A and B are shown apart, each in its own frame.
Chain A
Amino acid sequence: MYNFSALTQSIHQYLSEAMSPLGAKITEMAIIGLVLIAFVALSVMGLVYIERKVAAFFQLRVGPNRVGKWGLLQTLADFLKLLMKEHIMARNADKFLFNLAPFLIVTAAFLAIGAVPFGLGLQAFDINIGVFYISAVSSIGVLGILIGGWAGNNKYSLIGALRSGAQVISYEISAILSLLTIVVLAGDLQLSAIIESQRDGWWVFKGHIPVLISFVIFLIAGTAETNRGPFDMAEAESELTAGFHTEYSGIKFAMFFLAEYVNLFIIAAVGATVFLGGWMPLHIGHWQAFNHIMDYIPSIVWFFLKTGGIIGIIMWFKWTFPRLRIDQLLVLEWKYLLPINLVNLLVVAFITLMGWHF
């Protein structure tokens, strides 16, 4: 299996020889930043295209097929259009906050994506509290939504923002608690360690039913946290026209759009990493031959396959289910998911203590 740290090490070595340690560090950070920005831009365009095609598939349509081959350049064209649009602001909008919100929400998304392990040795920084870090920074995003909804001076966006605030704060609890079950099983918060603990099988297979439950809850909570249907309370186009970004136009709207898809990617990536072994190939216990064959598939392919699978499921949700009402949404979280999750966590802790997992 190819280890990307060989590549990164060689770059590091080359830079260290060429300049001072501080200069090398700064250059490396710049490279990583640029690579991530490029990756985000490309992956969001890809995701938007995929989403449109998936939606078209569900809805008996063809989807984009005019701009470029199979409509591949459609998202680029849309992005260019958004880039050139006029910035419109309501008269009594809070100018500073109105402009701040899109940046906040994008920053949160970028902070989180830095800690995602894309492949073996391909992780920008492997912090030892990785799970905690990702949950923490991704919750900054809701601030962007709240500020954006407030600053636009529009009642629809205010309602959308308040809904979103209540929703994200509630569902973050569930998302984190379901991640905690794996943290308990793996005994570590570091993402690389969690992946390493799945060398002999993914947690979703090893952890019996409790882990399956927490995986399902994670999918629900993750969908809710990214404000996607059937939990798109914050937008709820048939109720609130466009929810918290009603007043945004042009590139600022594009940023919200971008952040939505980055968040989708992060949620799917975290789910894939924690529950499905991240870049770890499909290994089954002591079947050495099988495991070796699986190792021939590059780690980055595994990661994107799993992430793509989860993204697919989340898109499937969106294009199938009606939207919940805000009170039903909160009831689902506080009365069902949270108690189930707490009990589940206890059960997993017990399983771990007794060593019953594989």
Chain B
Amino acid sequence: MTEETLTKEGLKTQEYFVNMGPQHPSTHGVLRLMLELDGEIIKKVIPHIGYVHRSIEKMCEKDSYRQIVHITDRMDYLSNHMNNEAVCLLVENALEIEVSDRVKVIRTIMSELTRLSSHQLWWGVMGMDLGALTTFLYGFRDREMINDIFEETCGARLTMNYNTPGGLMFDIHPNFQRRVKEFVAHFKTKLPEYDALLSDNVIFRNRTEGIGVLSKEDAISFGVTGPTGRASGFSNDIRKHKPYSAYDRVEFKEILMETGDTFSRYKARILEMWESLSIIEQLIDNIPEGEIQSPAVKAVIKLPKGEFYQSVETARGELGVYVVSDGTKNPYRVKFRSPGFSNLFVLNHLAQGYKIADLVAMMSTIDLVIPDIDR
């Protein structure tokens, strides 16, 4: 145990450990945080991860590139489409294949829909972590519409596997454009409701403002990417800095906040949802004609010898795929730079001196997906 200290009155106090997780309502999966507490004040957070470690990187070494795409769904299951896209982009870039504009635009729309659905889930869960139980189902109501769109076009609601190297599995469903437009119109009326329920609530403001401030320097040093990092002013949006797919032909703002507290991390995601809506609106009416699968990609993909890195912006931050190829049909080494992994370990830095309730709020705004961390 930790050492005993004497208070002014001569009473003995002792710090103690609490295991938060692996089964805990607000760790959103099997994450275990060892909290060193002084009363209710956090002295130290020691994350223990690996409870859903499946050694995806080792599995990839045995798989062909087409198979790897399907495994990536199972990492960050809320950014499933972007994960697939990362591997597909890497293969296409390594083979120097240009996919058609139609594929690019559809991929971008799907990515933004995935981002929206991920943020909707995050918003619902964030409210629930702070004790507002109703938000969860509001988030799910809107997410349901996106899942229906996915189901119609891809045949699945969560692990979609819509991307393949060189294009897409199938063309979009005839209803796709109509339903996406319906969704955008619907969600534009619902997003202000999100603000009314949480953002403008005085209890919520008090719980989040000025809590868990992450400075820009620390965000960079800890490698905190995505909305979590951008809330601290760390400009890291891959969509802006290294545009892929159709992001170079749409206009959107990179949401940058300054304070870096829990509320700005929250607000960054809410604003990001507006940007995603605007991206979808710009593209949905202008899906160009074109082939959905590039004929240049063969059934058995062999990458040239060398090392390749491709990053995409998922809902949680920068997902990087690093592949070392030896020229055969299987990669020699695959490494996924998962955003959640780096984001998680900033918790100890953030939470010191705050209370358990604040830790839960911070954890929510870092938006952890455990399979993404453990891989």
One digit per residue, 1 when the CB lies within 8 angstroms of any chain B CB and 0 when it does not, for chain A 315-355 equals: 00011111111111000000000000000000000000000
Question: How long is the Cα–Cα vector from A323 to B361 in the complex, in angstroms?
Answer: 11
Q: Residue A59 at the B interface, CB < 8 A?
A: yes
Q: Residue B24 at the A interface, CB < 8 A?
A: yes
Question: How long is the Cα–Cα vector from A276 to B112 in the complex, in angstroms?
Answer: 53
Knowing A237-B25, A320-B132, the reply to whether A325 touches B355 (Cβ < 8 A) is yes
B352 to chain A, nearest CB (A): 16
Residue of B25, B201, B206 near A238 (CB, 8 A) is B25
Contacts of A78 on B, CB cut-off 8 Å? Answer: none
A42 to chain B, nearest CB (A): 26
Q: Residue A281 at the B interface, CB < 8 A?
A: no
Q: Which of A59, A241, A320, A325 has the most CB of B within 10 A?
A: A325
Of A6-14, A88-96, A117-125, A228-236, the one contacting chain B is A228-236
Q: Residue B76 at the A interface, CB < 8 A?
A: no
Q: Which of B24, B128, B136, B358 has the most CB of A within 10 A?
A: B24
Knowing A159-B356, A239-B360, the reply to whether A324 touches B134 (Cβ < 8 A) is no
One digit per residue, 1 when the CB lies within 8 angstroms of any chain A CB and 0 when it does not, for chain B 303-319 equals: 00000000000000000
Contacts of B136 on A, CB cut-off 8 Å? Answer: 59
Interface residues of B in 15-36 (CB under 8 A from A): 16, 18, 24-26
| Contact A324 B356, beta carbon cutoff 8 Å | no
Question: How long is the Cα–Cα vector from A240 to B294 in the complex, in angstroms?
Answer: 53
Q: Residue B131 at the A interface, CB < 8 A?
A: yes
Q: Residue B237 at the A interface, CB < 8 A?
A: no
One digit per residue, 1 when the CB lies within 8 angstroms of any chain A CB and 0 when it does not, for chain B 199-212 equals: 00101101100000
One digit per residue, 1 when the CB lies within 8 angstroms of any chain B CB and 0 when it does not, for chain A 288-325 equals: 00000000000000000000000000000011111111
Contacts of B138 on A, CB cut-off 8 Å? Answer: 59-60
Residue of A156, A241, A322 near B201 (CB, 8 A) is A322
| Contact B16 A238, beta carbon cutoff 8 Å | no
Question: How long is the Cα–Cα vector from A123 to B149 in the complex, in angstroms?
Answer: 60
A61 to chain B, nearest CB (A): 6
Q: Residue B198 at the A interface, CB < 8 A?
A: yes
Q: Residue B129 at the A interface, CB < 8 A?
A: yes
B75 to chain A, nearest CB (A): 25
| Contact B26 A321, beta carbon cutoff 8 Å | no
Contacts of A156 on B, CB cut-off 8 Å? Answer: 18
Q: Residue A55 at the B interface, CB < 8 A?
A: yes
| Contact B201 A321, beta carbon cutoff 8 Å | yes
Residue of B40, B129, B131, B207 near A159 (CB, 8 A) is B40
One digit per residue, 1 when the CB lies within 8 angstroms of any chain B CB and 0 when it does not, for chain A 97-131 equals: 00000000000000000000000000000000000
Knowing A60-B141, A237-B25, A240-B356, the reply to whether A321 touches B207 (Cβ < 8 A) is no
| Contact A232 B40, beta carbon cutoff 8 Å | no
Q: Residue B271 at the A interface, CB < 8 A?
A: no
Q: Which of A59, A156, A230 has the most CB of B within 10 A?
A: A59
Residue of A240, A319, A321 near B203 (CB, 8 A) is A321
Knowing A241-B24, A241-B25, A324-B206, the reply to whether A55 touches B357 (Cβ < 8 A) is no
Q: Residue B156 at the A interface, CB < 8 A?
A: no
> B357's closest neighbor in chain A, by CB?
A325
One digit per residue, 1 when the CB lies within 8 angstroms of any chain B CB and 0 when it does not, for chain A 206-247 equals: 000000000000000000000001101000111111000000
Contacts of A323 on B, CB cut-off 8 Å? Answer: 130-132, 203, 207, 357
B31 to chain A, nearest CB (A): 14
Interface residues of A in 26-85 (CB under 8 A from B): 55, 58-61
Q: Residue A25 at the B interface, CB < 8 A?
A: no
| Contact B357 A60, beta carbon cutoff 8 Å | no
Interface residues of B in 152-191 (CB under 8 A from A): none
Contacts of B40 on A, CB cut-off 8 Å? Answer: 159, 163, 326
Knowing A60-B141, A322-B198, A324-B206, the reply to whether A236 touches B18 (Cβ < 8 A) is no
Question: How long is the Cα–Cα vector from A26 to B137 in the complex, in angstroms?
Answer: 52
Contacts of A322 on B, CB cut-off 8 Å? Answer: 127, 130-132, 198, 201, 203-204, 207
> B208's closest neighbor in chain A, by CB?
A322
Q: Residue A155 at the B interface, CB < 8 A?
A: yes
Contacts of B203 on A, CB cut-off 8 Å? Answer: 230, 321-324, 328
A224 to chain B, nearest CB (A): 13
A46 to chain B, nearest CB (A): 21
Question: How long is the Cα–Cα vector from A58 to B137 in the complex, in angstroms?
Answer: 9
Closest 7 CB pairs of A and B: A323-B131, A322-B130, A322-B132, A59-B137, A238-B26, A238-B129, A325-B357
List 14 other contacts, CB 8 Å, given A159-B18, A238-B26, A327-B355: A59-B133, A61-B137, A155-B18, A230-B132, A236-B357, A241-B25, A321-B132, A322-B127, A322-B130, A323-B131, A323-B132, A323-B203, A326-B357, A328-B206
Between A and B, 15 residue pairs with Cβ closer than 8 Å are A59-B134, A59-B137, A159-B40, A229-B131, A238-B130, A238-B360, A239-B26, A319-B133, A319-B134, A321-B201, A322-B203, A323-B203, A325-B355, A326-B357, A328-B207
B residues sitting closer than 8 Å to A (CB atoms) are 16, 18, 24-26, 40, 127-134, 136-138, 141, 197-198, 201, 203-204, 206-207, 355-358, 360
A residues sitting closer than 8 Å to B (CB atoms) are 55, 58-61, 155-156, 159, 163, 229-230, 232, 236-241, 318-328
